[in-house]
C-alpha cells in the first residue's frame, strides 16, 4: 500500500537527517581554522538539497493525492442511477428523495443554506459508510452504492448549534 511506502521513505529520510546531525556534532571542532572553504561547500550542498526536496515534495504530493476517494473530484460520475439533492439547514436536512434500491449508485449533491454541516451516512449498525461537508454556496458530491436494504441514517457530523444532535434523517433502501 502507498502509505506503507511513504512511511518507510519518511523513516529512512529522518534517519539520514539524524545521522548527518550526529556526524556534524561528533566531528565539530573549534580549532579556529578557515571557515570560508567549509562555508562555500556547505552552501553548494544546501542548494542541491533544496532542489532535491522540492522535486521530492512535488512527486510525493502527486503520488499520494492520485488515489483520493472522492469520485467527483476526478469526474467519475458514470454509472449513476440516481442523484439526490440535500441541503443542510439549522437543524434539519432538506432531502429531494429519501429512498433508493439495493444496487443503485446514488450521488448525493450536498450543500448548506446557513452554516457548515457535515453529512454522514450510517448503516443499520450505525457504522459510517460515507461522509462529506455541506457548506453554504458550495455543493459537494458523495457517490454511494447501497448493497443492503434497510433504514440508513443521515446525520450531521459538524457542530452547527444547540439542536445539532437532532439533525438526523432517515434514508430507506429497498430490494
Q: Is 60 exceeded by the pLDDT of residue 54?
A: yes
In percent, how much of the chain has pLDDT > 70?
89
Q: What is the mean pLDDT of residues 152-174?
A: 94
- According to the model, what pLDDT value does residue 122 have? 96
Q: Is 90 exceeded by the pLDDT of residue 135?
A: yes
Query: What does the pLDDT look like over 13-45, one tens digit per residue?
Result: 999 999 999 988 887 766 656 677 777 788 888
- According to the model, what pLDDT value does residue 69 have? 57
Q: What are phi and psi of 114, to 5 degrees?
A: -140, -70
- According to the model, what pLDDT value does residue 30 have? 62
Q: What is the mean pLDDT of residues 132-148?
A: 92
d(CA 108, CA 85): 6
Q: What are phi and psi of 140, to 5 degrees?
A: -105, 150
- According to the model, what pLDDT value does residue 121 have? 96
C-alpha cell at 91: 437543524
Query: What does the pLDDT look like over 62-104, one tens digit per residue?
Result: 888 776 655 555 555 667 889 999 999 998 999 999 999 999 9
Amino acid at each position: 500500500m502507498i502509505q506503507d511506502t511513504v512511511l518507510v521513505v519518511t523513516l529512512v529520510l529522518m534517519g539520514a537527517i539524524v545521522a548527518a546531525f550526529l556526524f556534524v556534532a561528533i566531528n565539530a571542532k573549534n580549532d579556529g581554522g578557515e571557515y570560508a572553504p567549509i562555508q562555500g561547500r556547505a552552501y553548494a550542498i544546501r542548494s542541491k538539497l533544496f532542489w532535491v526536496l522540492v522535486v521530492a515534495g512535488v512527486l510525493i504530493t502527486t503520488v499520494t493525492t492520485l488515489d483520493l476517494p472522492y469520485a467527483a473530484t476526478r469526474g467519475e460520475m458514470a454509472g449513476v442511477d440516481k442523484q439526490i439533492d440535500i441541503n443542510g439547514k439549522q437543524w434539519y436536512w432538506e432531502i429531494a428523495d429519501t429512498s433508493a434500491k439495493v444496487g443503485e449508485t446514488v450521488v448525493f449533491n450536498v450543500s448548506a443554506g446557513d452554516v457548515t454541516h457535515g453529512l454522514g451516512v450510517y448503516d443499520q449498525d450505525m457504522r459510517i459508510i460515507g461522509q462529506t461537508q455541506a457548506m453554504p454556496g458550495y455543493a459537494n458530491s458523495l457517490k454511494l452504492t447501497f448493497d443492503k436494504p434497510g433504514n440508513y441514517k443521515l446525520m450531521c457530523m459538524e457542530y452547527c448549534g444547540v439542536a445539532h444532535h437532532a439533525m438526523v434523517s432517515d434514508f430507506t433502501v429497498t430490494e
